[in-house]
A and B are shown apart, each in its own frame.
Chain A
Amino acid sequence: MPSTLPEGEPAPADGSLPEAALERVGTRPFGFYVHVPFCTVRCGYCDFNTYTASDLGGAVAGASRSTYADVAVAEIRQARKVLGDVDVPVQTVFFGGGTPTLLAPADLARIVAVVDDEFGLVEGAEVTTESNPDSVDAAALAGLREGGLNRVSFGMQSSVPHVLRVLDRTHDPDRVPLVVRWAREAGFDQVSVDLIYGTAGESMTDWSDSLASALACQPDHLSAYALIVEEGTALARQVRRGEVAMTDDDDLADKYLAADEALKAAGMGWYEVSNWARAPEAACRHNLLYWTGGDWWGVGPGAHSHVSGVRWWNVKHPTAYAGRVGRGLSPAHGRELLHQEDRRVERVLLETRLHQGLPVDVLDPVGRAALPSLVDRGLVGAGALERGRVVLTTHGRLLADAVVRDLLG
């Protein structure tokens, strides 16, 4: 999650939700996001809310790796209270970060167990953790699997040492196939790898090599993200000082197309602009929940939640977060109540990015009027449109934000 919190209205101290929102709880798919804000090293490009041991200046109660799970569990129990007795079974749990696997597998297992205990996990629930290749080994993966996790996403980023170096990634690229194999051996149903393209110094050959290495691991799922130079990161400073070249949109476009080609050839299909899966059922259900207006409770510092049109975000710093939860207060820092039009706008901007596309009836007259030109310009597929859906072409995926702007007038 981005390190800057949005502006909104203050959230109530007890985290309570408006009556109207509570009434609708349980009517949509529901999941948990658990933000683990720890890393051994801060990568230069990363603007997520994460801290190294030295950032945190030693162990503060609740803000350290050793006590984090206790606080997260306490927040999950708060969630139960806020949502009341209504039956909201959990479809997905996702541990993100940071580096969740810096916590002991037992900690993650305990959190999963508490979610199950308080809310109930549905049969076949998707339980994912992100992981760095150098933060897990065979034993840890086995432990995680035993603890109820069934999906793992490895932050591979690149297979090329000089690219990994610019990204401040510390793992040995040779370790990636190894950890993928261990995950399989441990019995994970779904294994995903993340790649980043467009890093300074990365040639097209480097990128093709990374894609080939990733595909050689035969992942079920692959995310490929264009590098974004985010304000406030070390990378942004390096770019500003001229030490590292700024990303180039043409290069990013070429690499996106190369990725799409290679992944298609390997039998993977896109289901979201930056995400590909071996089969429709291999898509990340937790992310789809974000993108299709589902409900989720975000646990942890800086985590965002969305329940029935109320979106809120927790205080950012682990110490502040642990303090609030420890005093029995909601860690929510601010929130916004989405109006009908906000939700419609979000549907357009999120669902347009999906392979299943956006139902045309979500568009207002202005948006509908923009469609013929979008088809003419080769951005939106004509066939899907006939079936009542706005689906981006390959060219359209590269210009998705422009398409969304047109659709929203």
Chain B
Amino acid sequence: MMEATPASYRESSVPISTSAPAPGTTDPAIIRNFCIIAHIDHGKSTLADRMLQLTGVVSERNARAQYLDRMDIERERGITIKSQAVRMPWTVAEDNAAAADPGSYVLNMIDTPGHVDFTYEVSRSLEACEAAVLLVDAAQGIEAQTLANLYLALGADLHVIPVLNKIDLPSAQPEKYAAELAHIIGCDVSEVLRVSAKTGLGVANLLDEIVAQTPAPTGTADAPPRALIFDSVYDTYRGVVTYVRVIDGKLTHRDKIKMMSTGATHEMLEVGVISPEPVKASDLGVGEVGYLITGVKDVRQSRVGDTVTSQHHGATEALGGYKHPNPMVYSGLYPIDGDDYPTLRDALERLQLNDAALAYEPETSGALGFGFRCGFLGLLHMEIVRERLEREFDLDLISTAPNVVYTVLMEDGSEVVVTNPSEYPNAGKIAEVREPIVKATILSPSDYIGVIMELCQSKRGQLEGMDYLSADRVEMRYTLPLAEIVFDFFDQLKSRTKGYASLDYEPTGSQASDLVKVDILLQGETVDAFSAIVHRDHAYGYGVSLAGKLRELIPRQQFEVPIQAAIGARVIARETIRAIRKDVLAKCYGGDITRKRKLLEKQKEGKKRMKMVGRVEVPQEAFIAALSSDGGPTDKRK
């Protein structure tokens, strides 16, 4: 174990900087905690890289592009899933343009996840800061998610520093977007800073501005320690690494600590700061941002949003704002090869170590065999988990169409929570079905207002308001059922607006809706994998399209196979797969015999991959194709 320890988390022989204030003894007055809010490709990682270089924590030569995005998938998709925090020393010169007080400072840059599924994680990261750099591409303007995160930042009382990036681009329109930003946050156009993270232009000044504008953290040094967990990451060698922001008191190496939401206690094996590799420290004091390691192996024991205190004489009041992450979207994951079931189980177990929001439990599908019903924060979360399972564990998976969580109120007053359409109670005794709804924000060029309204209306949306951000850009606010977003809303929005519109949403509760369960029957047998809960108005469309698709996908059998879509006992759509009439190879010469025998062996192998639904042989490919429908959610949401 010891010799396998990687460079990270080893005691560093290289101090951060000879003159930098040491962790644990840093005066809060010189600490500046900030984050960067930006849309996916607006240059946040490039800006972070540039700051790491300018502050000297990463040399030009060692700068791995986009240093902070660690996981392969993050790097490939260009998104940040897990936030991290980097401590950077910065010396402000005399007579700087930002009018900051000259001297030595410690800047903690807290990286925030950039996606709608991780709103809660974003909010906790924001909670660890005093200021947010609002970074916007000078050629594109602000996007819906950025706006949503900006609102979160304003809600958390952060000071906002507006910055336009990529001002070196020929297509940049800094005047236009500076005006837009100033309008949104209510500042003067002249206060919008301009940088090029790529060339470094304006970045040093931005660091000075951060020092000048960001309030220093305040907290009570001699109070019992309280630190906010804003991220928690599983490391193969060290177990869970917990990222914290100290609010009061001091966290000290070897202290016993307590997680306030669960009361669980742990010995603190290590505390330190990231700069940008982990560096051990003896303590973390008021306002400081760093990590702690206790030897726990499961991130669910160190939850984002929880408050860390000391076991003895600890704080009695938690910092507040802690929420248990609840899955919003469920989908069944099944191995294509049934023999892979144990591998899938182990893989989910492993992923959960690093993903407190991932929920799963075994389920059995008549059509797909043994698998797991998995709960996710949202679609991107689902895609990421699926991709990691396939990539890191070499699994081939079928996933069922994602669904949201429904609450069914029965006439006898009981309540059924439905995370899988097959759990939906039989009709008749149902008093009301409630479905989760979201508050959606759509930003788009104003040309598309009409098509967006049309789309939202068809998806049962309620227009809540509309504002022009600038002469030709508009913000539209809708209440929409989450189920519609999970279905194909985003793809439709992108295609109808030629990719210009951006979307953000957050859960706002639930509503009663006229929902029904549509079953698909093959030769009279329900195929559980295709059951869906849909609005009554959409039931027919769903039934017709799936039945039609299956007719194309299921090969003809020796007998006629009716495909029906039904609500309860009522059939709403019907297709027929006609019986196969010819299944014989015409010629069979001497030279064909070996080929024919091998073909037969291949067909026999193929038969093993057939799923039997009653007497009907359905190739696995048909399930995959029907479930990964063009209508279904894809991924790569931006």
User: Residues of A with Cβ closer than 8 Å to B?
Assistant: 1-2, 4, 6, 8, 33, 96, 225-226, 228, 249-250, 252-253, 256, 272-274, 287, 290-291, 296, 298, 302-304, 306, 311, 313, 336, 342, 345-346, 349-350, 353, 377, 397-402, 404-405, 408
Please report which residues of chain B, range 551-606, place their CB below 8 angstroms from some CB of chain A when the two chains form the complex: 556, 558, 578, 580-598, 600, 603-604
Select one of A252, A311, A345 contacting B582, CB under 8 A: A252
Instruction: Compute how far the CA of A2 lies from the CA of B558 in the bound complex, rounded to whole angstroms.
Output: 28
A408 touches B604 (CB 8 A): yes
B584 touches A397 (CB 8 A): yes
Least CB separation from B585: chain A residue: A401
Q: Which residues of B contact A287 (CB under 8 A)?
A: 589
Q: Which residues of B contact A303 (CB under 8 A)?
A: 591
Instruction: Compute how far the CA of A133 lies from the CA of B361 in the bound complex, rounded to whole angstroms.
Output: 71
| Extra contacts besides A249-B556, A398-B582, A405-B600 (14): CB < 8 Å | A225-B587, A226-B582, A226-B586, A249-B582, A273-B584, A290-B588, A298-B591, A313-B591, A313-B594, A398-B583, A399-B581, A399-B584, A408-B600, A408-B604
Select one of A304, A306, A398, A405 contacting B581, CB under 8 A: A398
- What per-residue 1/0 map shows which CB atoms of B14-38 lie under 8 Å from chain A? 0000000000000000000000000
Instruction: Compute how far the CA of A249 lies from the CA of B597 in the bound complex, rounded to whole angstroms.
Output: 22
Q: Which residues of B contact A1 (CB under 8 A)?
A: 589-592
Q: Which residues of A contact B594 (CB under 8 A)?
A: 6, 8, 304, 311, 313, 336
B590 touches A402 (CB 8 A): no
Q: Which residues of A contact B578 (CB under 8 A)?
A: 250
Instruction: Compute how far the CA of A20 lies from the CA of B628 in the bound complex, rounded to whole angstroms.
Output: 55
Instruction: Compute how far the CA of A8 lies from the CA of B587 in the bound complex, rounded to whole angstroms.
Output: 22
Task: Rank and list the top 10 A-B pairs by shortest CB-CB distance, nearest first.
Answer: A1-B591, A253-B581, A400-B584, A304-B591, A226-B586, A225-B586, A253-B582, A249-B582, A290-B590, A402-B583
Min C-beta distance of B180 to chain A, whole Å: 50
A250 touches B588 (CB 8 A): no
Instruction: Compute how far the CA of A33 lies from the CA of B584 in the bound complex, rounded to whole angstroms.
Output: 25
A377 touches B558 (CB 8 A): yes
Q: Which residues of B contact A252 (CB under 8 A)?
A: 582
Min C-beta distance of B354 to chain A, whole Å: 45
Least CB separation from A227: chain B residue: B586
Q: Which residues of A contact B581 (CB under 8 A)?
A: 249-250, 253, 398-399
Q: Which residues of B contact A6 (CB under 8 A)?
A: 594-595, 598
Given contacts A349-B597, A404-B600, contact A304 B582 (CB under 8 A): no
Given contacts A349-B600, A399-B558, contact A2 B591 (CB under 8 A): yes
Select one of B583, B592, B593 contacting A400, CB under 8 A: B583
Instruction: Compute how far the CA of A49 lies from the CA of B368 in the bound complex, rounded to whole angstroms.
Output: 44
Q: Which residues of B contact A313 (CB under 8 A)?
A: 591, 594
Instruction: Compute how far the CA of A353 lies from the CA of B593 in the bound complex, rounded to whole angstroms.
Output: 13
A-B contact pairs, 22 of them (CB 8 A): A8-B594, A225-B587, A228-B585, A228-B587, A249-B580, A249-B581, A250-B581, A253-B582, A290-B589, A291-B588, A302-B591, A304-B590, A304-B594, A350-B593, A353-B584, A398-B583, A399-B582, A399-B583, A400-B584, A402-B558, A404-B600, A405-B604
Instruction: Compute how far the CA of A400 lies from the CA of B583 in the bound complex, rounded to whole angstroms.
Output: 6
How many A-B residue contacts, CB cutoff 8 Å? Answer: 100
Min C-beta distance of B584 to chain A, whole Å: 4
Min C-beta distance of B380 to chain A, whole Å: 37
Instruction: Compute how far the CA of A313 lies from the CA of B592 in the bound complex, rounded to whole angstroms.
Output: 11
B586 touches A228 (CB 8 A): yes
Min C-beta distance of A210 to chain B, whole Å: 15
Instruction: Compute how far the CA of A273 lies from the CA of B594 in the bound complex, rounded to whole angstroms.
Output: 18
Q: Which residues of B contact A272 (CB under 8 A)?
A: 588
Q: Which residues of A contact B583 (CB under 8 A)?
A: 398-402
Min C-beta distance of A12 to chain B, whole Å: 18
Size bracket, chain B contacts: 20 to 34
Q: Which residues of B contact A249 (CB under 8 A)?
A: 556, 580-582
Instruction: Compute how far the CA of A313 lies from the CA of B589 in the bound complex, rounded to whole angstroms.
Output: 13
Least CB separation from A294: chain B residue: B590
B586 touches A298 (CB 8 A): no
Least CB separation from B590: chain A residue: A290
Please report which residues of chain B, range 583-637, place their CB below 8 angstroms from some CB of chain A when the two chains form the complex: 583-598, 600, 603-604, 607
Min C-beta distance of B471 to chain A, whole Å: 48
A306 touches B597 (CB 8 A): no
B600 touches A345 (CB 8 A): yes
Q: Which residues of B contact A408 (CB under 8 A)?
A: 600, 604
Least CB separation from B594: chain A residue: A6
- What per-residue 1/0 map shows which CB atoms of B397-426 lie under 8 Å from chain A? 000000000000000000000000000000
Q: Which residues of A contact B590 (CB under 8 A)?
A: 1, 33, 290, 296, 298, 304, 306
Min C-beta distance of B154 to chain A, whole Å: 58
Min C-beta distance of A380 to chain B, whole Å: 13
Q: Which residues of A contact B580 (CB under 8 A)?
A: 249, 399, 402
Least CB separation from A379: chain B residue: B558
Select one of A96, A225, A342, A377 contacting B597, CB under 8 A: A342
Min C-beta distance of A328 to chain B, whole Å: 25
Q: Which residues of B contact A353 (CB under 8 A)?
A: 584, 588
Instruction: Compute how far the CA of A346 lies from the CA of B558 in the bound complex, rounded to whole angstroms.
Output: 23
Least CB separation from B587: chain A residue: A225
Instruction: Compute how far the CA of A350 lies from the CA of B587 in the bound complex, rounded to whole angstroms.
Output: 11
Q: Which residues of B contact A342 (CB under 8 A)?
A: 597
A2 touches B592 (CB 8 A): yes
Q: Which residues of A contact B597 (CB under 8 A)?
A: 342, 345-346, 349
Q: Which residues of B contact A304 (CB under 8 A)?
A: 590-591, 593-594
Q: Which residues of A contact B600 (CB under 8 A)?
A: 345, 349, 404-405, 408
Q: Which residues of A contact B603 (CB under 8 A)?
A: 405
Q: Which among B556, B587, B595 has the highest number of chain A CB atoms within 10 Å? A: B587
Q: Which residues of A contact B558 (CB under 8 A)?
A: 377, 399, 402
Least CB separation from A226: chain B residue: B586
Instruction: Compute how far the CA of A272 lies from the CA of B589 in the bound complex, rounded to whole angstroms.
Output: 12
Q: Which residues of A contact B589 (CB under 8 A)?
A: 1, 96, 287, 290
Instruction: Compute how far the CA of A303 lies from the CA of B591 in the bound complex, rounded to whole angstroms.
Output: 7
Q: Which residues of B contact A274 (CB under 8 A)?
A: 586-588
Q: Which among A287, A401, A404 has the highest number of chain B CB atoms within 10 Å? A: A401
A346 touches B584 (CB 8 A): no
Min C-beta distance of A357 to chain B, whole Å: 15
Min C-beta distance of A105 to chain B, whole Å: 24
Instruction: Compute how far the CA of A336 lies from the CA of B598 in the bound complex, rounded to whole angstroms.
Output: 12
Instruction: Compute how far the CA of A225 lies from the CA of B592 in the bound complex, rounded to whole angstroms.
Output: 14
Q: Which residues of A contact B607 (CB under 8 A)?
A: 405
Instruction: Compute how far the CA of A253 lies from the CA of B598 in the bound complex, rounded to whole angstroms.
Output: 25
Select one of B556, B584, B593, B598 contacting A290, CB under 8 A: B593
Least CB separation from B584: chain A residue: A400
Instruction: Compute how far the CA of A389 lies from the CA of B29 in the bound complex, rounded to whole angstroms.
Output: 98
Instruction: Compute how far the CA of A346 lies from the CA of B589 in the bound complex, rounded to whole angstroms.
Output: 13
Instruction: Compute how far the CA of A137 lies from the CA of B588 in the bound complex, rounded to whole angstroms.
Output: 29
Min C-beta distance of B73 to chain A, whole Å: 36
Q: Which residues of A contact B595 (CB under 8 A)?
A: 2, 4, 6
Instruction: Compute how far the CA of A302 lies from the CA of B589 in the bound complex, rounded to whole angstroms.
Output: 13
Q: Which residues of B contact A401 (CB under 8 A)?
A: 583-585
Q: Which residues of B contact A306 (CB under 8 A)?
A: 590, 593
Min C-beta distance of B153 to chain A, whole Å: 56
Instruction: Compute how far the CA of A401 lies from the CA of B133 in the bound complex, rounded to whole angstroms.
Output: 69
Least CB separation from B593: chain A residue: A346
Instruction: Compute how far the CA of A405 lies from the CA of B594 in the bound complex, rounded to whole angstroms.
Output: 16
Min C-beta distance of A281 to chain B, whole Å: 21
Please report which residues of chain B, range 147-200, place their CB below 8 angstroms from some CB of chain A when the two chains form the complex: none
Q: Which residues of A contact B556 (CB under 8 A)?
A: 249
B604 touches A273 (CB 8 A): no
Q: Which residues of B contact A298 (CB under 8 A)?
A: 590-591
Q: Which residues of B contact A302 (CB under 8 A)?
A: 591
Instruction: Compute how far the CA of A304 lies from the CA of B603 in the bound complex, rounded to whole angstroms.
Output: 23
Least CB separation from A402: chain B residue: B583
Instruction: Compute how far the CA of A131 lies from the CA of B589 in the bound complex, rounded to whole angstroms.
Output: 17
Least CB separation from A286: chain B residue: B590
Instruction: Compute how far the CA of A398 lies from the CA of B585 in the bound complex, rounded to whole angstroms.
Output: 9
Min C-beta distance of B576 to chain A, whole Å: 14
